[in-house]
Amino acid sequence: MASTSSLLSSAVTEEEVTLTVKWSGKEYTVRVCGDDTVGELKRRICEVTNVLPKRQKLLYPKVGSKLADDSLLLSQLPLKSSLKMTMIGTVEDDIIVDQVDSPEIIDDFELGQAEAVDIKDKEVNKQKLRKRIDRCKIELRNPCRNGKKLLVLDIDYTLFDHRSTAENPLELMRPYLHEFLTAVYSEYDIIIWSATSMKWVELKMGELGVLDNPNYKITALLDHLAMITVQSDSRGTFDCKPLGLIWAQFPEFYNSRNTIMFDDLRRNFVMNPQNGLAIKPFKQAHSNRDKDQELVKLTHYLLAIAELDDISHLDHKNWESYNEDTFKRRRHA
Ligand code: MG
């Protein structure tokens, strides 16, 4: 019974709708499916307008405030190609200025183990991932290297304090960033994945000197368009960074056994809990610039585990004690 009804509904919902979106005096065309969510529609709109999804307010005849719910399926709305949608939103250039005053949701909620497993295994989320794999092609800046593991790095609060202000962005860079990247590059290809937009990823990484450093190369940059929106019972919907997107496009190089991802938000690796390491956020750069040693300690960890064939069985929560144990083993050897 269940499979029959899901077949029936997927026949209806996979239908594509072409929508016209009006924004700032111009019209844009986006194509969506019924089984996309409002959140995904906003991503499509972002691709053509550069207005980040969280900045968009969507207006459409007869749907009221429903478009404020990012988890709502588009098949639940009376969308028609003949009607135009209006988007109200701030252009990206204003956002950095805005960021300083706007409170941001930064709480790193911890999902229960059972719930996290549930999200990763849910068919609807796997399907979202497959769709993202089809739509989002990763552009390589440098070739993948044979025999290397993969390190995926978040930017904000991981490599950079984006909430403090400074005349020179270098003052907000996490200490030892270049030393860290140089050292781990010997064993890992490096991909940077931020929940902001490509424009800012390139700008920030360029300003910090990460993109043209002679001592290491960045394999690829990914932004929010590569993320997927998932739903949890206790926390509602949120975006996350599914590593499966990378594994599907470069299966001869990267997989769940040789990839590790650093992010200050644990929820970002909910689709790959075994591959995530929750890094202590780097905040208040001006007072912590001289104290923060995380990247030095993590260099030791990454180089120590690089000799393992499979790093997915490690519990990265215990990375600090792994360092101590390795140190002790070496002293007693
Ligand atoms: Mg972050």
Residue pLDDT, tens place only, 220-253 = 999 998 999 888 877 777 889 999 999 999 999 9
Q: What is the DSSP string of 159-224?
A: TB-TTS--SSGGGGBPTTHHHHHHHHTTTEEEEEE-SS-HHHHHHHHHHTT-TT-TT----EEE-G
Asked if 207 and 169 count as a contact pair (C-beta separation under 8 A), the reply is: yes
Measured in Å, residue 264 CA sits from the centre of ligand 1 at 5
Q: Which residues, at least 6 apart from 61, have a Cβ–Cβ distance to it below 8 Å? A: 83
Secondary structure E strands in the chain: 16-23, 26-33, 57-59, 84-88, 149-153, 188-193, 220-222, 228-232, 236-240, 259-263, 276-278
Residue 2, pLDDT above cutoff 60: no
The CATH 3.40.50.1000 domain(s) of the chain lie at 98-331
Measured in Å, residue 174 CA sits from the centre of ligand 1 at 12
More confident residue, 66 or 152: 152
Measured in Å, residue 171 CA sits from the centre of ligand 1 at 17
Asked if 249 and 137 count as a contact pair (C-beta separation under 8 A), the reply is: yes
The percent helix, strand, coil of the chain (3-state, each to 5) is 40, 20, 40
Measured in Å, residue 125 CA sits from the centre of ligand 1 at 22
Q: How much is the pLDDT for 81?
A: 84
Q: How far is CA 193 from the centre of its chain?
A: 5
Q: How far is CA 111 from the centre of its chain?
A: 17
Q: How much is the pLDDT for 112?
A: 73
pLDDT tens per residue, range 117-142: 788 888 889 988 998 999 889 999 99
Q: Which residues, at least 6 apart from 105, have a Cβ–Cβ distance to it below 8 Å? A: none
Measured in Å, residue 69 CA sits from the centre of ligand 1 at 23
Residue carrying structure tokens 């016209």 = 20
Residue 145, pLDDT above cutoff 50: yes
Q: How much is the pLDDT for 71?
A: 85
Measured in Å, residue 10 CA sits from the centre of ligand 1 at 35
What does DSSP say about strands 149-153 and 16-23: parallel, antiparallel, or unpaired?
Answer: unpaired
Residue 297, pLDDT above cutoff 90: yes
Measured in Å, residue 328 CA sits from the centre of ligand 1 at 32
103 — phi, psi (to 5°)? -65, 140
Q: Please provide the size of the chain in residues.
A: 333
Measured in Å, residue 154 CA sits from the centre of ligand 1 at 6
Instruction: Take residue 66 and report the two structure tokens written for it.
Output: 């429903």
Q: How far apart are CA 234 and CA 243, in angstroms?
A: 23
Measured in Å, residue 161 CA sits from the centre of ligand 1 at 9
The CATH 3.10.20.90 domain(s) of the chain lie at 4-91
Measured in Å, residue 25 CA sits from the centre of ligand 1 at 34
Written out in words, the top-level CATH class of the domain with range 4-91 is alpha beta
Q: How far apart are CA 256 and CA 73, in angstroms?
A: 30
CATH of 98-331, one of 1.10.150.120, 1.10.10.10, 3.50.50.100, 3.40.50.1000: 3.40.50.1000
pLDDT tens per residue, range 262-294: 999 999 999 999 999 999 999 999 999 999 999
Q: How far apart are CA 55 and CA 31, in angstroms?
A: 20
Measured in Å, residue 147 CA sits from the centre of ligand 1 at 28
Confidence of residue 7 (pLDDT cuts 50, 70, 90): very low
Residue 1, pLDDT above cutoff 70: no
Measured in Å, residue 279 CA sits from the centre of ligand 1 at 9
CA torsion 15-127-133-256 (nearest 10°) is -170
Measured in Å, residue 135 CA sits from the centre of ligand 1 at 24
Measured in Å, residue 301 CA sits from the centre of ligand 1 at 20
Residue 8, pLDDT above cutoff 60: no
Measured in Å, residue 332 CA sits from the centre of ligand 1 at 38
